[in-house]
Every structure is written in structure tokens, then in C-alpha cells.
Amino acid sequence: MTGEKDIRTLLATIHPVRREGEYVYVLWPYGKPLAPAIEAAVREAEGLTAVLPRAEADAMGLHYDFVGAWITLEVHSTSEALGLTAAVSAALTDAQINCNVLAGFHHDHLLVPVADADRALEVLHELAGDTSQRTAAKLLLRTETPEDRDAILALTAAAFSVSPLTGLPVDGEPAEVGLLRQLFDCEEYLPAFSIVAELDGEIVGYAISTRGWVGELGLLGLGPIGVVPRLQRHGIGSALIHETVMRANAAGERGIALLGSPEYYSRFGFVSSTSLGIQPPKPEWGDDFQLLPLAVWPGGIHGTFRYAGPLAAM
């Protein structure tokens, strides 16, 4: 991956978030025990510089000049972020906003004058938005080929390394990887609904839909769907779902079923399957089992959805 690409993709995921309160830089009094309120510190030959909440500094009678707002860039893995800080500082400098950068183990943090905090957030959101749009414009959605499979499995392992159900890291290979291997080989595999999202030659997202049924009526079962973690939340998952829906309508499919968060999938028109008379394969899935009726949805269908073999066995 090139440095330029790193920056472009990472900028789209900076997620600037302002911490509550105001922060100041103080020269820590020599010999004074360190206070728990210190958020960051730098030791120099001349003494110790500390950053702490303004109210704490005031309570200790410490002198300061600069009063800052603290903005955390929630982008992960600063080790990958070669040049990210420079790009962020340059954008703030262009907007004539003074900015002190603190690099933590997990994230970069910016201290900007309190009066400029809102403007700084605007500049950062604009920077992220611009790159996000560029990413979407360059995204290629295409049918998977057998040569793509290693990359698909690798991205699926990364996307599901944290369980979407529990939010906890998964030990070993996520179950979705083995599931995909089986889906590629099962009878219900539909090549046209195995879709990769490619960015600059790299596979960054993947969605599969396989044949499922209610009674004799064939429907699509969507999932798993995954996006590489560093590029999540800037439209790739949505693009894959829109592409799936478009292909399904063009192919005369009746509807698409899936298990997932109604908060996310409702934006594409998915509704609780039971509202259409279709029961989930497992009753406990409740409203998380959703269905998108397509242009030729027949209506009046009742029954329980059956997934492709490997999905039904999960």
C-alpha cells in the first residue's frame, strides 16, 4: 500500500471527538508530587510540562497561558498513519488554527484554542468527508472470481475479529471465515450475488447472498457482509447492499432476508420479517431477522425462512 493511499483512507476515518472541558499546559512545580488529574506530560531538562483540566490547575493555583479544547482523533493504529498528523496539522494551519499534537499509544490528540474548537471540528470533518467522497467515487463493485477468495477470507477474518454480537475480540479464526468457505462450495451459492468492493486494486469489502426459501418460494439470504476495519463507516457496506439490491431486482428476485441490526438495515428498506408474515429460522432472532421485499414481492406469503445449508447449520 502506498503512503498516499494510507493517508487518503485514514483521513476518512479520523472521527474527531471533543473531550469535555478545557485543558491547560502548565510547568509542573519542581518536587511537587504528580497529580492524578494530569492527562499528559513531557519531561525536559528545564522541567516537567503537564496538561491537565483547567479547573484542576486553577484549584492548585498553577499558572498557564494557553487554554485548549481537547480533540481526539479516534482513527486506530497510528503506526499505519504515516503523514496523517501532518495532513491534519496542515488543514488546521490553513484555517489559521493553532494546534498542539499529542500522540498517544492508541490515538492522536489535538489541543486547539477553546475559541477555535468548533471551527477545528468543522475543518476535520470536512477533511474526512472529502476523502470519504473520493473513496466512494473510486470504489469498484464487481462479481467475485475464485482468485479473490484468499483476499475475501482475510478481510472477513479482520472484519469479524471483533464479534458484532458481543463487541468482544474473537479468539482464533472467526466463524464467518469457515462459513464462507462452505458457502463458496454449497449448492445454494449464487455467483452473481458474491460481490467484492475493490479500491485501488485492493479488496476492501465483500457481501454474499445465497439461495434461501419460504416454502417453495426462492428468496435471497444476505450475509455475511464485511468491510476491512480501517475503512468501515464510510459507505462501503452501504454500497455493497445497494449493489446487491440492484442486482436482485434486475434478476427478478422476490426479496432479501438477513439477520442484523434493524438500526443499520432499516435505512435500506429492510423491515422485520414477521411484519410480512415470514418467521425467522430461529424464533429468538425476533425483529433482528429482516426482509426487504423487492419490486416483484408476491405478498400473501406465510411461513418460516430457510437459509442455505451452511447458514442453516450455524
Out of 78, 232, 274, 304, which residue is the one contacting ligand COA (CB under 6 A)?
Answer: 232
Distances (CA, A) of 42 to 69, 89, 118, 201, 274: 19, 20, 27, 42, 59
Q: Which is nearer to ligand COA, 99 or 311 (CB)?
A: 311
Give the binding range for ligand COA (CB under 6 A) out of 39-47, 48-56, 88-96, 223-231: 223-231
Q: Which is nearer to ligand COA, 218 or 262 (CB)?
A: 262
Does the protein bind ligand COA through residue 227 (CB under 6 A)?
yes
Distances (CA, A) of 310 to 60, 114, 130, 227: 64, 55, 41, 21
Distances (CA, A) of 202 to 32, 110, 150, 197, 198: 54, 31, 12, 8, 5
Out of 93, 143, 261, 275, which residue is the one contacting ligand COA (CB under 6 A)?
Answer: 261
Q: Which is nearer to ligand COA, 39 or 288 (CB)?
A: 288
Per-residue contact flags (x/-) with ligand COA for residues 76 to 115, judged by CB under 6 A: ----------------------------------------
Does the protein bind ligand COA through residue 164 (CB under 6 A)?
yes
Distance CA 135, CA 140 (A): 10
Give the binding range for ligand COA (CB under 6 A) out of 73-81, 118-126, 186-194, 258-266: 258-266
Contact between 19 and 70 (Cβ < 8 Å):
yes
Distance CA 77, CA 229 (A): 11
Out of 64, 66, 264, 297, which residue is the one contacting ligand COA (CB under 6 A)?
Answer: 264
Considering CB under 6 A, how many residues would be counted as binding ligand COA?
19
Does the protein bind ligand COA through residue 223 (CB under 6 A)?
yes
Does the protein bind ligand COA through residue 128 (CB under 6 A)?
no
Which run of H or E residues covers position 109?
A: strand 108-113
Distance CA 222, CA 214 (A): 15
Q: Which is nearer to ligand COA, 10 or 236 (CB)?
A: 236
Does the protein bind ligand COA through residue 234 (CB under 6 A)?
yes
Cell 503506526 sits at which residue?
A: 79
Q: Which is nearer to ligand COA, 53 or 260 (CB)?
A: 260
Minimal CB distance residue for ligand COA:
237
Q: Which is nearer to ligand COA, 70 or 206 (CB)?
A: 206
Can you list the alpha helix ranges (DSSP code H) found in the chain?
3-11, 54-59, 84-94, 117-138, 149-159, 175-185, 236-250, 262-265, 309-312
Does the protein bind ligand COA through residue 32 (CB under 6 A)?
no
Does the protein bind ligand COA through residue 120 (CB under 6 A)?
no
| Range 280-312 burial, b when 16+ CB lie within 10 A, else e | bbeeebeebbbbbbbeeeeeebeeebbbbebbe
Q: In the structure grid, which three cell numbers stand for residue 274, read together? A: 414477521
Distance CA 191, CA 170 (A): 29
Residue numbers at the binding site for ligand COA (CB under 6 A): 159-160, 164, 223-227, 232-238, 260-261, 263-264
